[in-house]
Structure 1
Amino acid sequence: MARWKWGALNALQAVMVLLVTAVGFPVALLLGLVSGPGAALRVASWYWAPLLFGGAGAKLVVEGAERVDWSRPQVLVANHQSMFDIPSLFAAVPVPLRFMLKRELASMPFIGWYARLMGMVFIDRGNARDAKQKLGEAADRLRDGATLVAFPEGTRGTTGVVGAFKGGALQVALDAGVPVVPVAIEGTGAVLPPSGFRVRPGTIRVRFGAPIDTAGLERNVLATQAREAIVGMLQKNRGQSTISEEIVL
């Protein structure tokens, strides 16, 4: 397709994202105020994520979800390629999700408001005292039965190499005594690169690894195990399913 046509299509897609967000998240906010966060959290999975996938022309493939006991609280740790990682996880995970996010996202219209009301955890990495408090709140949510998602690299990767894992998300799992589930995400960077708004159709794979029991582990050991599991899933049979596969979107 000619460059100008892609530009025009991407402009329409950007408008669609704004409209979908502007319409959907206020409904979720009202639902959260009336019935609590459970159903409101699922609005992102039932409404927002499928529409974003449809608008992008992207397909989601989920692998290994049967490995995870979704009735348990746990921390999902994933590699980070794109902002499209977030709707991909909302669509792939069958239970309400709360994310550990950068503080800057809290000020975004609609998305930030929704995330605050839904009990997402915003970490200010430049403020050690605030970060410690927020990590403590995250551990409390896990003790109350929540499923948390974190991107331990701390930023979106641009080279395809999984960066070193920062310890905050892993420490939350250790403090709460819950398992860590490694999640390998593949294809989001091709659908939506880390910078700009250049959307292209493609297939996104979300692979769930075996949960890691955190009992007795040190944080650095846990970080290494989780990262190695993700790297292994990304390297093994790229483009092919090695465990049971389900087409979701």
Structure 2
Amino acid sequence: MRIVALILIYPFVFLWTFISGLTGMILSIIFRARELTLSFVPGKMWAPVIFWLMGIKVKREGLENIDPDTPSIFVCNHGSFLDIPACVMKIPVNLNFIAKKELKKTPVVGWYITATDQIYIDRKNKDRAMESMAQAAEKIKQGKHVLTYPEGTRSKDGSIKMFRRGSFIIAKEGNIPIIPVAISGANAILPPGSFFAKRGNIELSIGEAFRPSDFPEMSVEDLANEARRRVIAMSNDHQED
């Protein structure tokens, strides 16, 4: 019965995604309203309707750990396509993304990312990847918040894989606050390889920010491991509840 309902619902999900992406492109390209695009279209327009249509509730804790006036790097585990709408809906700042280059060719999503001047990273080319990291650092210095998924791809089994270095190179060089974010439940609702989402709850936990200068002896790899440790701890807390 759930699959039949989703077959009827999914066309509206895709249509709403297209309408939201088109709205974002119009606001960004024609009206030059990039900040409005980032604050309104993903979190207020697109994601809430998507979750409502699919019968999924998203809960949040740790809002007090966000300082909107302090540019930060949010680092989040990645186990489902649902992670992105959950983050843009429940993290109340204008989020900039570092997206893998392959998404540039994706209809609507790639158009939206390009129109809103997000950063693409070529993971197969080390020099270009580092150049993308430098662009991200510059955006942060200009007062932008950045959301990253340092595992690099979705976890197939729900476990949190090793965090890649890119986000933490930026953080260490600029002493930029790192905010760990743990998403629980999204992988069970819509794991990689699945098309039909289950009903359920997604829990988004926002941890305390920490700066590289808090741990001056740590290398980039150590910072990545520390962020991963915190994300795993928050995720485990939800599994025990």
Instruction: State the TM-score, normalizing by the size of structure 1.
Output: 0.90
Matched, 1:58 2:56: yes
Question: Hey, what's the Cα distance between the residues in 2 that align with 1:149 and 1:225?
Answer: 17
The aligned residue for residue 206 of structure 1 is: 204
Matched, 1:165 2:166: no
**Structure 2 unaligned blocks of 5 or more:** none
1:146-185 map, 5 Å: 146-185=144-183
Matched, 1:38 2:32: no
Matched, 1:128 2:99: no
Aligned length: 236
Cα shift readout 1:20-66 (whole Å, capped 9, x = no counterpart): 01212111111113143110012111110001110110111100110
Q: In 2 relative to 1, CA 22–153 (structure 1 residues): closer, same or farther, beyond 3 Å? A: same
The aligned residue for residue 245 of structure 1 is: none
Question: Hey, what's the Cα distance between the residues in 2 that align with 1:8 and 1:237?
Answer: 31
Q: In 2 relative to 1, CA 22–171 (structure 1 residues): closer, same or farther, beyond 3 Å? A: same
Deviates more, 1:26-35 or 1:36-45: 26-35
Q: Select which of 90, 99, 102 maps to 1:101.
A: 99
AA partner of residue 39 (structure 1): L
CA RMSD of aligned residues (A): 1.4
Cα shift readout 1:139-174 (whole Å, capped 9, x = no counterpart): 110111111111111111122221111101111222
Q: What's the offset of the Cα at 1:239? A: 6.0
The aligned residue for residue 189 of structure 1 is: 187
Question: Hey, what's the Cα distance between the residues in 2 that align with 1:56 and 1:117?
Answer: 27
AA partner of residue 186 (structure 2): T
Task: Determine what percentage of the aligned residue pairs are the same residue.
Answer: 31
Q: In 2 relative to 1, CA 137–237 (structure 1 residues): closer, same or farther, beyond 3 Å? A: closer
Q: What's the offset of the Cα at 1:220? A: 1.1
Instruction: State the TM-score, normalizing by the size of structure 2.
Output: 0.93
Cα shift readout 1:83-133 (whole Å, capped 9, x = no counterpart): 100000000111111111111111111111111121222111111121111
Question: Hey, what's the Cα distance between the residues in 1 that align with 2:68 and 2:9?
Answer: 33
Structure 1 moving runs of 4+ over 6 Å: none
Deviates more, 1:170-179 or 1:43-52: 170-179
Contact 1:97 1:148 in 2 (8 A): yes
SS at match of 2:239: coil
Question: Hey, what's the Cα distance between the residues in 2 that align with 1:218 and 1:231?
Answer: 20
SS at match of 2:212: coil
